[in-house]
């Protein structure tokens, strides 16, 4: 028995030394950040901007891999199974918290499959529709949706996506279920909204601001408590009569469970630097997206946020009673 303990202790010590040795020279090669949605959407845009800035700080390429599908859970699952060596990361949003309740069975244990790097952004959603949507304001959109509930289509990025959550809040606020159309991300969903193949979408300003400003889609409300500087003419959901739709989307950067703390700390420092990078700050501002503060871009802040958000959304999702397998 003693021998077994000694052998286990030696193995553990060797593993620890190997991890520390890796951490010391980290990063020595390209880092991949998995975005659990298709290219061209808000999560992708945020990640590419942050990855470019982190790459400057880390002295290694930080590239993005889009693994869309199943509301972000496919990409999260891929990272949960990846080597915990700091070379595969995940940038996911509020869906990390909502999926924990929405899915009856996830291929990973949300609170135990990841290490935390830090919070990345806070961004509101916008309720938008195809350009030729008849309604001129939120009240009109609600009337139209209620009168045409079997034919009005709402795009989302799958169960667990922020667009799914926001669509759910809309349908529950107007007490009318609508036809939902899932995509691998709201990048491709936006293409269909622009083409008029789908009617409505609720998505982050990161993806909608330019289109709203260019009048290629119609905007009915922002889900923040105050109007946004970049979209001053778009009323808040409360102004439009649907205060229960208020919601803020946050993004976090994760690593697979077992990634050495030296590495997640190094990444967290780099994230903090990236969030102050001029290009990131300017582009985020143009897109109504707020970079997380230095205090929030830390492992502890992301862990606390994920835990509190799982607790916050569980009763809301349970009340809706719609789950995915
Ligand atoms: N963030 C989007 C959503 O949750 C998906 C995406 O980034 O494409 O709907």
Q: Which atom of ligand 1 is nearest to the CA of 204?
A: 1
> In this structure, how many other beta carbons lie within 10 angstroms of the beta carbon of residue 287?
22
Give pTM, 2 decimals.
0.91
Q: Going by CA atoms, what residue is nearest to atom 9 of ligand 1?
A: 163
Is a pLDDT exceeding 80 seen at residue 78? Answer: yes
Mutate to test the pocket of ligand 1, among 37, 180, 182 (most ligand atoms within 8 A of CB): 37
Q: Which residue has the tokens 């028995």?
A: 1
User: What does the alpha-carbon distance between residue 47 and residue 268 come to, in Å, rounded to a whole number?
Assistant: 14
3-class DSSP assignment, residue 211: helix
Q: Look at residue 16 in the predicted model and tell me its pLDDT.
A: 47
User: What does the alpha-carbon distance between residue 1 and residue 87 come to, in Å, rounded to a whole number?
Assistant: 37
DSSP letter, residue 45: H
As a whole number, mean pLDDT of residues 168-186 equals 96
Mutate to test the pocket of ligand 1, among 69, 70, 95, 161 (most ligand atoms within 8 A of CB): 161
Q: Look at residue 321 in the predicted model and tell me its pLDDT.
A: 85
Which pLDDT band, with edges at 50, 70 and 90, does 322 fall under? confident
Q: Look at residue 325 in the predicted model and tell me its pLDDT.
A: 86
What are the residue ranges spanned by the domains of the chain?
29-123+249-320, 124-245
Is a pLDDT exceeding 50 seen at residue 201? Answer: yes
Structure tokens at 191: 């293409």
Helix (H) or strand (E) holding 140: helix 138-147
3-class DSSP assignment, residue 71: helix
Ligand 1 centroid–CA 185 distance in Å is 5
Burial environment of residue 278 by CB neighbours within 10 A (0 to 12, 13 to 18, 19 or more): exposed
User: What does the alpha-carbon distance between residue 182 and residue 78 come to, in Å, rounded to a whole number?
Assistant: 20
DSSP letter, residue 6: H
Q: How many CA atoms lie within 13 A of 305 on its CB side?
A: 28
DSSP letter, residue 30: -
User: What does the alpha-carbon distance between residue 296 and residue 248 come to, in Å, rounded to a whole number?
Assistant: 15
Which pLDDT band, with edges at 50, 70 and 90, does 5 fall under? very low
Domains 29-123+249-320 and 124-245 share a fold: yes
User: What does the alpha-carbon distance between residue 253 and residue 244 come to, in Å, rounded to a whole number?
Assistant: 28
Give the chain's mean pLDDT: 93
Structure tokens at 17: 């030394």
Which pLDDT band, with edges at 50, 70 and 90, does 20 fall under? low
Domain made up of 29-123+249-320: CATH architecture: 3-Layer(aba) Sandwich (3.40)
Mutate to test the pocket of ligand 1, among 69, 157, 202 (most ligand atoms within 8 A of CB): 157
CB 200 within 8 A of CB 127: yes
Condensed to tens digits (0 to 9), the pLDDT of residues 144-167 reads 999 999 999 999 999 999 999 999
CB 185 within 8 A of CB 179: no
Q: Which residue has the tokens 């279920």?
A: 177
Ligand 1 pocket, 42 CB below 6 A?
Answer: yes
User: What does the alpha-carbon distance between residue 26 and residue 69 come to, in Å, rounded to a whole number?
Assistant: 31
Nearest 5°: CA angle at 114, between 168 and 14?
175
Domain made up of 124-245: CATH architecture: 3-Layer(aba) Sandwich (3.40)
Longest dimension (CA), the chain: 78
């Amino acid at each position: 028995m003693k021998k077994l303990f000694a052998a286990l202790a030696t193995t553990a010590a060797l593993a620890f030394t190997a991890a520390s040795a890796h951490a010391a020279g980290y990063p020595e090669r390209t880092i991949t950040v998995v975005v659990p949605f298709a290219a061209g959407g808000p999560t992708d845009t945020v990640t590419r901007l942050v990855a470019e800035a982190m790459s400057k700080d880390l002295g290694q390429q930080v590239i993005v891999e889009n693994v869309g599908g199943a509301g972000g859970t496919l990409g999260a699952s891929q990272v949960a199974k990846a080597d915990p060596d700091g070379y595969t990361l995940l940038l996911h949003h509020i869906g990390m918290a909502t999926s924990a309740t929405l899915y009856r069975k996830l291929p990973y244990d949300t609170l135990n499959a990841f290490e935390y790097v830090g919070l990345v952004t806070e961004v509101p959603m916008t309720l938008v529709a195809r350009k030729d949507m008849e309604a001129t304001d939120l009240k009109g959109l609600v009337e139209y949706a209620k009168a045409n509930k079997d034919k009005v289509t709402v795009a989302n990025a799958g169960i667990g996506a922020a667009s799914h959550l926001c669509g759910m809040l809309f349908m529950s606020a107007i007490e009318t279920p609508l036809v939902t159309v899932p995509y691998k991300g709201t990048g491709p969903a936006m293409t269909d909204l622009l083409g008029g193949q789908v009617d409505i979408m609720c998505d982050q300003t990161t993806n909608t601001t330019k289109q709203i400003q260019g009048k290629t889609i119609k905007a009915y409300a922002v889900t923040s408590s105050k109007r946004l500087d970049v979209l001053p003419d778009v009323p808040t959901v409360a102004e439009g009569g649907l205060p229960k739709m208020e919601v803020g989307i946050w993004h976090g950067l994760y690593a697979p469970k077992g990634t050495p703390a030296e590495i997640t700390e190094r990444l967290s420092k780099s994230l903090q630097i990236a969030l102050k990078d001029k290009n990131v700050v300017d582009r985020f501002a143009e897109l109504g997206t707020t970079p997380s503060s230095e205090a929030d871009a830390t492992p502890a802040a992301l862990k606390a946020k994920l835990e509190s958000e799982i607790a916050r959304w569980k009763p809301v999702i349970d009340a809706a009673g719609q789950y995915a397998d």
